[in-house]
Amino acid sequence: MKKVAIVGAGQSRFGEFPDKGIKELFLEAYQDMSKSVDRNFDPKRIQAAYIGNLGCGGFQLGNLSALMSEYIGLPYIHTMRIENACASGGYALATATMDVLSGTHEVVLAGGVEKMTDMSGSKTRYWLGVSGDTEYERLAGTTFSGLYALLAQRHMHEFGTKREHLSMVAVKNHKNGAMNPKAQFQRETTLERAMAAPMVAAPLNLFDCCSTTDGASAVLVCDADVAKQFTDTPVYVAGFGTSSDYLAIHDRLATVSLEGTRRASERAYKMAGVGPKEIDVAEVHDCFTIAELLAYEDLGFCEKGRAGPFLEEGHTQLSGDRPVNASGGLKAKGHPIGATGTGQIYELFHQLRGTVQKPGRQVKDPEIALAHNVGGSGGTVAVSILTR
Amino acid sequence: MKKVAIVGAGQSRFGEFPDKGIKELFLEAYQDMSKSVDRNFDPKRIQAAYIGNLGCGGFQLGNLSALMSEYIGLPYIHTMRIENACASGGYALATATMDVLSGTHEVVLAGGVEKMTDMSGSKTRYWLGVSGDTEYERLAGTTFSGLYALLAQRHMHEFGTKREHLSMVAVKNHKNGAMNPKAQFQRETTLERAMAAPMVAAPLNLFDCCSTTDGASAVLVCDADVAKQFTDTPVYVAGFGTSSDYLAIHDRLATVSLEGTRRASERAYKMAGVGPKEIDVAEVHDCFTIAELLAYEDLGFCEKGRAGPFLEEGHTQLSGDRPVNASGGLKAKGHPIGATGTGQIYELFHQLRGTVQKPGRQVKDPEIALAHNVGGSGGTVAVSILTR
């Protein structure tokens, strides 16, 4: 069976850029990716592009992947927009991987882009709302933070998870983000400050919620045999798994777990032939602090209900035995919806190759990495496992 | 190398259904598909779903593929929404094919759905506009019919294509649609009536434009070895090809040709090992009558500039040697954007198996079929070649 490799990964700066449109953001990520390829990069070799995106810049653009492809200079390729809410990028990588495995194309781009600022606040809130169940949740008045607040409430009730645990996620991720030159928020915070932030949807306060962000990311995926032409140190896609779930949380099997994460990671571990204990570094989908705690459990990093203590014991700190969100995560790095999935891959590509820009945030010698990307409140989930 | 087969195909009625939402439409197509599988149909065997959609019911829904999947009873599969404007369905089939070829999943759904009516007219016009180049075309005031009108003007100017030729496309497709119990418009028209219809964007009048339509379609794709469990008469995906192009027509190589169609069909022919003369029946993307004429030429059915006379000579009539749009095409069957691509596959599946509902419109003993699906004014194109 074929093997799939990643030979380049790029990311735009994440943040709020009133002077940049969706095309400029994607070009920035593409150019950054091209510079990361060790040798022989040639745009003419790119035969396909899978581009994750939710909002099309306020629903202003259709046929978006063709527009992005022509703008980066690839007008006649196989190109396709993928929309699985916030998990679009993770599915873009999965699709690129299947494409290469199928033998259809040899060198393929997987990426994502989102322009979220420069719109009225209500418009952005509306976008995010559409990722849940519109009929039973959004139109009934539930906000997106409200949905995750319900999951947090229940987790605290069932397992004694403390408010402090939520804030500890924010403190950890802001600490990491402070060292990431491409993060939206490059500053640390304290537990006191995080605890005292204004309430958004109890128990989630402002520091429990990720921001709205402009940004793009792109990775170059190819057949492992072809990879040798581009680099001596490719990163391999050892496994991937995805799963959907009922959109409305009232339909779910549980409210203290994302079934999609459980199933997607089970499939990815099986394909890669590794288990959760073998993961050296992970980027998980912390759109809200509670989401990172749920991920620890649903990915099998710790037992169900034990995420709070697991975090408190320091395992997921940069210096711990399983660093999570070394990039700052969605919380500090920012969350440009469609770009988040391949943005995680960008981070792990450089972590595995030892090429993160600031040595302070380089995880020590990781060999196996995991990316976890969630759409909506768990309606779609993509998990990828990368190896050196 | 693996071979990919289609073992079932379904379509909802196309039309205007104020009492049906996007979920109900997709379920109708799914159930129709399930009934078309000769034996052993089991939802539990479906591991993935690729669903084409442009407008999410007025941009009301995100994570749409997960919502559709849970509604048809498949909550935990690999599911993904594909948006390549009007070509979304064609790309859904291409993606499903690559998935099966890659060995990732064995039995996969490819489909599409669109809810276009029950919205204000301006909102639907806005949708269609986003499929072109918003920055240089839509915001400059160009409508979608306006773009195709420019292509028609130029074709008439360069090749002497007549106004009558445009209307003959409408007359042919309405004649075919009149026999299709799932078509939006099941009535014939005359050349006189078609010629006298109110002008929309010169030279295109009302009868040169397809309608706005609610509808869904779904086909069941699987490994050819697995296909034997479901039927003795599968249809094979012998080839597929896609290509993007510059969105804005002022950037294109030509305005009397869709370069995307040329390249996509070249790739599909090469993969299938057949040429245009061997196609026995085709569904082409006639969003406007001029689009069908361009397709004849760009797919290689006739020489560049000769589409008018080619039509006049009767080749593409139901009784001709290369029937085109036996279903009625987008013109008479209707054009529910995301559902059109796999809707074409639905028609060709039944044509190849000799199982169209009304014998009058059954093409005589076809062996090789071609589907041609265009996004926007040619920004994305997917071509599929099917065989018995």
Run of H or E residues at B238 = strand B235-244
Residue A326 lies in a domain: yes
Q: Are B213 and B116 in contact (CB under 8 A)?
A: yes
What residues does B381 pair with on adjacent strands?
B243, B374
| Alpha carbon A241 to its chain's center | 14
What residues of B are in contact with residue A67 (Cβ under 8 Å)?
133, 247, 379
pLDDT of residue B60: 75
For B377, which residue in chain A has the nearest alpha carbon?
A63
For residue A203, say if its preceding peptide bond is cis, omega within 30 degrees of 0. Answer: yes
Determine the Cα–Cα distance for residues B124 and A215; give it in Å rounded to an integer: 29
The partner residue sitting opposite B98, judged by closest CB among A85, A104, A243, is A104
Nearest to A290 by CA among A322, A252, A248, A258: A258
Determine the Cα–Cα distance for residues B90 and B36; give it in Å rounded to an integer: 20
Instruction: Say whether B63 and A78 touch across the interface (CB within 8 A).
Output: no
Determine the Cα–Cα distance for residues B48 and B78; give it in Å rounded to an integer: 4
Q: What is the Cβ-side half-sphere exposure of residue B132, based on CA atoms within 13 angstroms?
A: 25
Candidates B51, B78, B123, partner chain A, best to mutate (most A CBs within 10 A): B78
For B381, which residue in chain A has the nearest alpha carbon?
A78
Residue B186 lies in a domain: no
Run of H or E residues at B48 = strand B48-52
Nearest to A316 by CA among A192, A127, A201, A173: A173
Nearest to A290 by CA among A212, A209, A211: A209
CA-derived radius of gyration, chain A: 19
What residues of B are in contact with residue A61 (Cβ under 8 Å)?
130, 134
Query: Model pTM greater than 0.80?
Result: yes
Q: Are A170 and A208 in contact (CB under 8 A)?
A: yes
Nearest to B284 by CA among B200, B370, B357, B217: B370
Quote the minimal CA–CA distance from B29 to chain A in Å.
20
| Alpha carbon A191 to its chain's center | 25
Nearest to B343 by CA among B303, B304, B286, B387: B286
pLDDT of residue B120: 62
What residues does B288 pair with on adjacent strands?
B209
For B252, which residue in chain A has the nearest alpha carbon?
A75
pLDDT of residue B341: 98
Q: What is the Cβ-side half-sphere exposure of residue B156, based on CA atoms within 13 angstroms?
A: 16
**Phi/psi of residue B63, each to 5°?**
55, 35
Angle of helix A22-36 relative to helix A337-353, nearest 10 degrees?
Answer: 10
Residue A143 lies in a domain: no
Q: How many CB atoms lie within 10 A of CB A294?
A: 26
Q: Which two tokens stand for residue A354?
A: 């030892």
Determine the Cα–Cα distance for residues B94 and B234; give it in Å rounded to an integer: 17
End-to-end CA distance of chain A: 18
Please give chain A's pLDDT, 388 residues, in tens: 799 999 999 999 999 999 999 999 999 999 999 999 999 999 999 999 999 999 887 777 889 999 999 999 999 999 999 999 999 999 999 999 999 999 999 999 999 999 998 776 666 767 677 788 888 888 888 889 999 999 999 999 999 999 999 999 999 999 999 999 999 999 999 999 999 999 999 999 999 999 999 999 999 999 999 999 999 999 999 999 999 999 999 999 989 999 999 999 999 999 999 999 999 999 999 999 999 999 999 999 999 999 999 999 999 999 999 999 999 999 999 999 999 999 999 999 999 999 997 878 999 999 999 999 999 999 999 999 999 9
**Phi/psi of residue A125, each to 5°?**
-60, -40
pLDDT of residue B122: 61
* C-alpha triplet A297, A302, A307: angle, nearest 5°: 65
Determine the Cα–Cα distance for residues A43 and B251; give it in Å rounded to an integer: 20
DSSP character string of B165-176: HHHHHHHHHHHH
The partner residue sitting opposite A62, judged by closest CB among B70, B242, B376, is B376
* C-alpha triplet A106, B270, A65: angle, nearest 5°: 50
Residue B364 lies in a domain: yes
Determine the Cα–Cα distance for residues B317 and B296; give it in Å rounded to an integer: 13
Q: Are A306 and A347 in contact (CB under 8 A)?
A: no
Residue B251 lies in a domain: yes
Instruction: Say whether B98 and A98 touch across the interface (CB within 8 A).
Output: yes
**Phi/psi of residue A3, each to 5°?**
-125, 145
| Residue recorded with tokens 């020489």 | B303
- What is the residue range of A272's domain? 4-120+211-387
Q: How many CB atoms lie within 10 A of CB A128?
A: 24
| Residue recorded with tokens 């979920």 | B23
Residue A200 lies in a domain: no
Instruction: Say whether B76 and A132 touch across the interface (CB within 8 A).
Output: no
Residue B146 lies in a domain: no
Instruction: Say whether A81 and B79 touch across the interface (CB within 8 A).
Output: no
Q: What amino acid positions of B are annotated as catalytic residues?
A: 86, 335
B239 by Cβ neighbours in 10 Å (0-12 / 13-18 / 19+) ranks as: buried
Residue A168 lies in a domain: no
Helices (H), A217-326: 224-227, 259-272, 289-298, 307-312
What is the four-CA torsion angle of A355, A356, A362, A365, rounded to 10 degrees?
-30
Q: Is position A250 annotated as part of the catalytic site?
A: no
Instruction: Say whether B66 and A102 touch across the interface (CB within 8 A).
Output: no
Determine the Cα–Cα distance for residues B61 and B122; give it in Å rounded to an integer: 19
Query: Which DSSP letter does residue A314 get?
Result: T
* C-alpha triplet B58, A79, A74: angle, nearest 5°: 125
Determine the Cα–Cα distance for residues B295 and A172; give it in Å rounded to an integer: 57
What residues of A are in contact with residue B83 (Cβ under 8 Å)?
62-64, 81-83
Fill in the amino acid letter for B219.
V
What residues does B81 pair with on adjacent strands?
A83, B51
Determine the Cα–Cα distance for residues B148 and B289; give it in Å rounded to an integer: 9
Determine the Cα–Cα distance for residues B29 and A334; give it in Å rounded to an integer: 40
Domain count for chain A: 1
Query: Which DSSP letter does residue A356 get?
Result: -
Strands A235-244 and A281-283: unpaired
What is the CATH classification number for the domain harbouring A61?
3.40.47.10
- Residue ranges of chain B whose pLDDT lies below 50: none
- Tell me the count of A-B CB pairs closer than 8 A: 174
Determine the Cα–Cα distance for residues B128 and B125; give it in Å rounded to an integer: 5
What residues of A are in contact with residue B63 (Cβ under 8 Å)?
83-85, 130-132, 247, 375-376, 379-380
Instruction: Say whether A247 and B1 touch across the interface (CB within 8 A).
Output: no
Torsion sign, CA atoms A171, A52, A100, A275: positive
SS3 state at B366: coil
